[in-house]
Chains A and B, each alone.
Chain A
Amino acid sequence: MGVDRRVRAWLRAALAAVVLASGPALATDPDLAPFSELQNLGLGFQELGGHLPPPGAFGGQNEATITQNGASLSATVAQYGGRNEASVTQSGFANVAALLQVGLQNTISLSQAGDANQALIGQLGAFNNAAVVQNGVNNLVQILQVGNGLNVSVTQNGNNMTARVVQRN
């Protein structure tokens, strides 16, 4: 089984979980988190292309912490588990954070200080929480949450920033 096929299998399993959790009315809705979107969520990140769920996924607790200072830095987190926690702090210019969590309970805390920073966050699970703080100019954050119990908080201080949040079951 190739890398793409194995990732796709995991995403399909997670999608099945969400559809079951959403109830029968939503299970027939064609607009619900189509597989292609979830597939893109997992495979669309260049940085995440080679990551696979670890053995015993959805059964454990993952914690990741990244702190970066400088310019053009990249922080990538991919967590598959029952309870995932990621904390990322970046300060500087043109930094990128790409964070993906698939699990039953996901929590992300991201702080970016500086200009031209970007953050891309994907969470798939039953309880998702994402808190993002950006200070500076021309920063961007995009968040996709799929599941139940969705919670996003974005705070941006500065000028010319964009925050985009999509939540769905």
Chain B
Amino acid sequence: MKRKLSAIAVAAALACAYTGALWADTGTITQTGDGHEAHITQTSVNNASTASVTQTGSGNTANVTQQNSSQPMHATVSSSGSGQNATVFQEDSWNAVANVNQSGGANNTASISQTNASDNFGETLTTATINQNVSTNSMATINQSNADGTSATIDQVGNFGAASDATITQQGVLLSTASIFQNTTDASSSITQTAGSHLTASILNIDARVSDATITQTGSNNNASIQQASLSTSSGSSFSDFANAIIDQSGSGNSAAIDQAGAFTSNATINQGGSDNTANINQSSDHSNATVNQAAETSGNVATVNQSNGFYNDALIQQSASSNVATINQSGNGTAESRNSATVTQLSAGNNATISQSGGAGNVATITQN
């Protein structure tokens, strides 16, 4: 009986202490050297939880798991060196923030996964950010699912002359954004947003030589943009030649834009299904190829392709259904041997098509309306 009373007393004391205090659960691991492993798991916490891992060296691994919190959860992994591997998993929170920063070295990987992280009345409170700075041949991945009002960002900068991969996947999200910035050659970037609306996806690739960028969106009222450009600095210029950009959108009220500046022998493709969509492609170099497909049984779509400063450029717009508008402007200096080509195909009535070619010679323009 006496023991039972003491247990109850302890329970009461702890309960009172809990209700009267403002706590934060904190886990911090700092490691210096090679071949380390750091694991932090925070689950079912009532307090704001913070997990922080800092690693300096090579071949280190960091794993952070945060789950089932009624309070904000923050995770940060910072590392410098080569062969660093960071993984953050966050689940069931209204305010999840994850940051991974990797600098220097090569062959680093970072992954953030956030699921069931709802927003707070439209505010973006769940964010995932990966920064890989001067880290060659690195890979970054962000997955967000069932999380409205979220933000995902990957920055891979200063990785001159090296391959890097960046992938963002958002599923079942509303009012969310995804952005990738790469300053590297031979890069690959991909954003996939499914089952959502009012989404924004953007990829900016500087020094995008032999780089691929892809955005896929399903849903309505979404926005996608890809920019691949050269970079001029006091020490010289970089190039974005042989770059490829693809945007696929299904749904209505979407907009897509691809801008390839100074990108020799580059390809841009926009595929859209649904109605009331807008597609824009701008290219400013030789041997460029632009294609816009706006699928059958859709109407009210607008497609525009602008190609300047070059020859051997090809532009193609294909539209089905009615009430569509297609415009192609080519101002490069084509020749009889290296001509520019513009083609518009509209397979229904009530459409509008315009092709404008200026400069050079031997250019070809074709409009087909059935």
Q: Which A residues are closer than 8 A to B by beta carbons?
A: 9, 12-14, 16-18, 20-23, 25-26, 29, 31-33, 57-58, 104, 125-127, 147-169
Contact = CB atoms under 8 A, between A and B. Distances in A.
Contacts, number: 156
B151 to A, nearest CB: 26
A168 B34 contact: no
Interface of B: 3, 6-7, 9-15, 17-18, 21, 23-47, 49, 57, 68, 70
Contacts of B10: 13-14, 17, 58, 104
Given A31-B68, A157-B33, A162-B37, A21 B14 contact: yes
A165 B44 contact: no
A156 B39 CA distance: 13
A57 B21 CA distance: 23
B44 A31 contact: yes
B34 to A, nearest CB: 5
Contact of B31 (A21, A22, A150, A163): A163
A18 B47 CA distance: 14
Summarize B's interface: helix, strand, loop or mixed.
mixed
A161 B43 contact: no
B46 to A, nearest CB: 5
11 contacts: A9-B3, A13-B6, A13-B11, A21-B18, A58-B9, A104-B13, A149-B25, A154-B29, A155-B31, A160-B33, A165-B40
Given A150-B45, A165-B40, A169-B45, A126 B17 contact: yes
Given A20-B11, A161-B33, A168-B42, 19 more contacts: A9-B3, A17-B13, A18-B14, A21-B17, A29-B68, A31-B68, A58-B6, A126-B17, A148-B21, A149-B24, A150-B42, A153-B30, A156-B33, A159-B57, A160-B35, A161-B35, A164-B39, A166-B43, A169-B44
